[in-house]
Amino acid sequence: MRDATTDATPKPGEEPKRRTLSRESWIAAALKVLERRGIAAVKIDLLAKQLRVTRGSFYFHFADLNDLQQAMLEEWRTRNCRPFLELAAEEGHEGKDFFDRIVTIWVAEDPFSPMLDLAIRDWSRSAAKLAAEVAAMDDLRLALLTRSFRTMGYDADESLVRARITYFHQIGYYATFFKEKAADRRRYQPIFGRVLLGPLAE
């Protein structure tokens, strides 16, 4: 498919210039609106106005608003779900090393996006099918954490509780919009690890 284009506003005496507006540009703009204002604010007209294009540019890439929403969800699945799915599919990893690999997905934020995760969670409150998908991803992440604690030697109940504390702590970082420098977070990570992992990790 060729790229959709739109006329940029020309200066007096100049010919109109053409700029490319890709499908990815629409998705990126929609995701920003989702993160800042929620799914109710993701509207074709509002996005077109923001991007300074006509509705026709939107329909060049998408069948309708639902088509765009599905593309937004695919971005979440790729960035925020796939790393955990890939980790779950691996075998032979256990203990503290496995725990560190799970946590690093969140801390590195590459490709994981905490703001996108929060926005999708908020969206899921008004979409039953999405809520089930978010719940399934929560279950997977908790299962990975529980597995790491089990392989450190904790019993089933304590592994589950430690997994929940770790996961809820991680979500709390984002839900409270807590801000800190990336260097500080990396510095604190091993300290958090010692606290969360407990004596069997020493």
∠ at Cα 82 (98, 63), nearest 5°?
170
Residue 20 β-bridge partners: 5
pLDDT at site 66: 97
pLDDT at site 8: 47
Measured between alpha carbons, how far is residue 85 from residues 77, 80, 143, 144 in Å?
A: 10, 10, 11, 10
pLDDT tens-digit readout, 155-173:
999 999 999 999 999 999 8
Question: Are the beta carbons of 95 and 151 closer than 8 angstroms?
Answer: yes
pLDDT tens-digit readout, 48-63:
999 999 899 999 999 9
Question: Are the beta carbons of 19 and 4 closer than 8 angstroms?
Answer: no
Q: What are phi and psi of 5, to 5 degrees?
A: -130, 165
Q: How confident is the model at residue 183 (pLDDT cuts 50, 70, 90)?
A: confident
pLDDT tens-digit readout, 54-104:
899 999 999 999 999 999 999 999 999 999 999 999 887 788 899 999 999
